[in-house]
Structure 1
Amino acid sequence: MRLAKEEFTAGTGNVRTLHQEGKVNQLTYELDRYQWNVLGIAEMRWLDSVMECEPISSQVIRIRMNAHPRNVSIVQVYDPTSDCSDEEVDEVYDVLKSTMDKIPEKYIRIIQGDWNAKIGTDAYKDWEGTIGKFGVGETNERGTRLLEFCKINNPVITNTFGADTGSDHNLLMMTMKLKLRKVRRQPNCRLKYNLERLRDADCQEKFEIKIGCRFGALLELEENDDVQHLTSEFSKIMNETAMEVLGKARTKKQPWMTQDILDACDRRTKGFEGNNSKKAFDTVKQLGRKKNIGQSVIEDKNGNLLTEKKEKSRKVGPVCEGVIQLPNSDLS
């Protein structure tokens, strides 16, 4: 667009939402009617599906979308035509490779676009697993270049599996059904050292001497050394010295036999002393008795305690009426 010779119209507006049916059609109609070139939209309310859109180059663009259970990254590519040099084609593939390497492996990655390449049925025999059986004509040089990229980086050329529209550009439609692998979380492998040994004066002195000798090497490093490298060396020295002098800490297992259990056993033993069966029975019954949950006490009008559950439910209404008297009031 040449701004010096052409009119350029930019605008902005709050559409409240584009999530309602027909709102997108209404917006595109207004854009066409007013002939706006650029429109800034506020409050689209598209549920934050698009997390990021990044133009990589004039031939490559990437979009990151919020999805469940995995986010999706789609890379759109336009590969130069056969009129361009091989160097230009290689540059596009280098940019694409760099873009794909930056996408986390846990994302679903889709590469699509116009590759200006032809992959024929003759390629299926040598490239099975990368392509399907439904190629077009014979594979050309650009098609071989695409096959090599896919073989190395593991994508599958899906339009060799499907529809034919009578064009040299085949219609591509992809339906995905995910089968996710179960991700096993790594256990906590934090190494613990036997710090109790530092209470011993000889062991403490040995540890200090070892650390001092090892840290002397750090002083010989160049001043312009990377901070990350210095941190890594410091951590390495501390861990190696601690392992050599202190060793690993032994994991202490909590005993299942607690003091409360032992006290209960003593009380039970005392209950059986003297062959007193009644005392033994009462002791065992008391040890196995569950704690009673406090219950509310309800009395009737005469002050008698209500013990039965059904009796309580029958009497609670009349009792409340006898205790709580609401004054008459004119609500009109």
Structure 2
Amino acid sequence: MGDFNAKVATEKVDDIVGKHGLGIRNERGEKLIEWCQTNNIIVGNTWFQQPPRRKWTWKSPGDENRNQIDYMMISKRYRNALLLAKTYPSTDCYSDHVPVVGKFKLKLKKNSKPFTNIKFDLAILKTNQTIREKYQISVQNKFEALGDAQEVEQQWENFKSAIMEAATEVIPKVKRKAKQKWMTEEILNLMEERRCAKGNKENMRKYTKKCKKNAICQKRTGSMRNVKR
């Protein structure tokens, strides 16, 4: 990002700058702090207590002053990931600046999309001639609309896409079956309505309550029947 020549010093600023900096704050340091506040970024190497030789990053000509003008900055979101930050003045890195080295421990959340396996009622293609002919025409039209592809892989992708799109439009889906004996069509419908109500806490709460109430009633009814038998 360029050489700011910014000194943030030892004065703590909210949760942006710690008290373990070095030197006296200058005007460029104030601008850097403002930029960090705007972008929710912390100055990492000011939060770890180190001896002065592990803080300075640049030595002025004539070896008169040692300054801290290079920083390891990180988003507030990952503040706890930064375990340590310090300089290594004895490093031979072909620069008049001293490298700032940090120790990190990141644990990133894996956002996996739920796999939805759509089941189509394929048996209807054998019994219902109207749907079968409609499906065949739909596949042919969609495949021709995708155009000719020279590569085999692309041809397969086009063909697969045409089949899936036509099936989604023409072939009805297999109805959800109850896995438990006490599961009724009414409960399944309530579960579907609850799924559609995601994002609305009030409706979600209402349908969840209804689902639980109906499920408990059905379980109790089933238990009483078994006892009578």
TM-score range relative to shorter protein: 0.3 to 0.5
Larger Rg: 1
| TM-score computed with the length of structure 2 as normaliser | 0.41
| TM-score computed with the length of structure 1 as normaliser | 0.30
